[in-house]
Amino acid sequence: MTTTPTAAPADERLRPSRLPTDPTLRRATLLTAVNSLGNGLYFPLGVLYFTRIVGLDATSVGLGMTAAGLVGVAAGVPAGRAADRWGARRVGAWLWAGTGVATAAYVFVQSYAGFLVAVLCATGLQMASRGVQGAIYADVLPLATRVEARAYLRMVVNVGMGVGGLFGAIALQLDTRAAYVTVILVNAATFAGPALLLPRLPLAPHALERAASTDDVPAADRWRAVRDLPFLAVTVLNAILVAQYTLSEVGLPLWIVERTEAPRWTAALLMILNCVLVALLQVRVARNASQVPSAVRAMGWSGLLLAVACAVYALSAGLSPVWAVLALSVGAIVQVFAEVLSAAGGWTLGYELADSRLHGVYQGVFGAGMSAGMMAGPALVTVTAIQHGSAGWAVLGVLFALAGLTVAPAVRWAQRNGEWRGDKH
């Protein structure tokens, strides 16, 4: 197999203002940009296609998507195990190709049964691929800059989603079947096309050594991640912090409309603010959270900052429109710092606490935890902040703070457990 050339200095390769010079990271950037552009296109109008064009009931569509999410969470670990056995790049390519085919099938949906089949396949395969993508990055990115490179790719995702969202808004304004179908097929192509290039990402030298050592792992230990209690504890804590993403997507729009005097367009303003600041800050923050001690500190600060953001959001209720917008904006800025800290810390811990010989199944578990956190987030925000106002925000803030601060003892437990087992990282 081909190995990557010597990595360029991190500051040169990962500067947000230009494309990376490392060939592998450049290819990964292209794949990520294409896929995120398609996702951004589809995101604003996915549900509306099934309700307005196909004619399905909105509640039924929501239930179907929830069921599809559960399938995706459950599929994450088997997909990770498959990546260990057959190679992360190959399995990732099959998952992306399958997602593309299932997404294209949306244009043929005419009944609820057809919708269920298509959405279960498309969403299940896409969510299952998250952990496999983590394993792919573990195989193809240099160890020294792996977390920083993931931060760069996350910046690319934000930009791609934003650009795609602009074109998706045009299709949404046209509101015709042809416009919706075009967006769906383009989104499907952004999965199927990059899937052809995934197997061509060259393995980094350390991945070749890992591939040779994986065969030495006893068969009984190859599912170890699902019973690695310390690693599962860190996964759950990370999942709680990941639930913050639904604050911007679900919680704040509802809070703005139902509980504040802020104009409705404030929700869009906060989303744009989030995308811009994440793109500007994520790489810089990741550079300071690429080792376990700094990652633990980042997770702790993330939880505390989320608690502060929740308190500021709560204060926005009852203020005049101008002051409400100002308070919500301050809260959103604080949340952005929490978000980039938890993302960088989570990537580092997900890799460093895993047995490197079994990255597929370990990243499958970690990715399934993230998917579960994002699935549970809307309900969590609704039953706390939206239903109970300031008291609910307080509960949510305490939960985030406790999760962030508990990461430190959970990581110490995981490190002791890894040393006892003699894991390789």
C-alpha distance from residue 327 to each of 97, 261, 321, 401 (Å): 44, 12, 10, 20
pTM of the complete model = 0.80
Residue 264 burial (C-beta neighbours within 10 Å; 0-12, 13-18, 19+) = exposed
Contact 92, 128 (CB under 8 A): no
pLDDT at 241: 97
Strand, coil or helix: what is 310? helix
What are the two backbone dihedrals, phi and then psi, of residue 2, each rounded to the nearest 5 degrees? -80, 140
pLDDT at 297: 97
pLDDT at 420: 47
Residue 299 CA to residue 414 CA, distance in Å, equals 15
Residue 339 CA to residue 302 CA, distance in Å, equals 7
Residue 293 CA to residue 290 CA, distance in Å, equals 9
pLDDT at 116: 94
Burial 203-237 (b: 16+ CB within 10 A, else e): bbebbeebeeebeeeeeeebbbbeebebbbbbbeb
pLDDT at 313: 96
Contact 333, 53 (CB under 8 A): no
Tokens in use for 90? 């190959």
Residue in 397, 396, 399, 381 with CA at minimum distance from that of residue 255: 381
pLDDT at 119: 92
Residue 337 CA to residue 218 CA, distance in Å, equals 42
Beta-ladder partners of 3: 203
Residue in 174, 184, 153, 178 with CA at minimum distance from that of residue 41: 184
Mind listing the pLDDT tens digit of every residue in the chain (425 residues)? 333 333 344 444 455 545 677 788 888 888 889 999 998 888 778 878 898 899 988 788 878 888 888 888 888 889 888 888 888 899 999 999 999 999 999 999 999 999 999 999 998 898 888 888 888 888 888 877 788 888 888 888 888 888 888 888 788 788 889 999 999 999 999 998 888 888 888 877 766 665 555 555 555 566 777 889 999 999 999 999 999 988 877 788 889 988 899 998 888 788 788 888 988 899 889 989 989 999 999 999 999 999 999 999 999 998 999 999 999 999 999 999 999 999 999 999 998 998 877 878 888 899 889 989 988 888 888 889 989 999 999 999 999 999 999 999 999 999 887 654 445 44
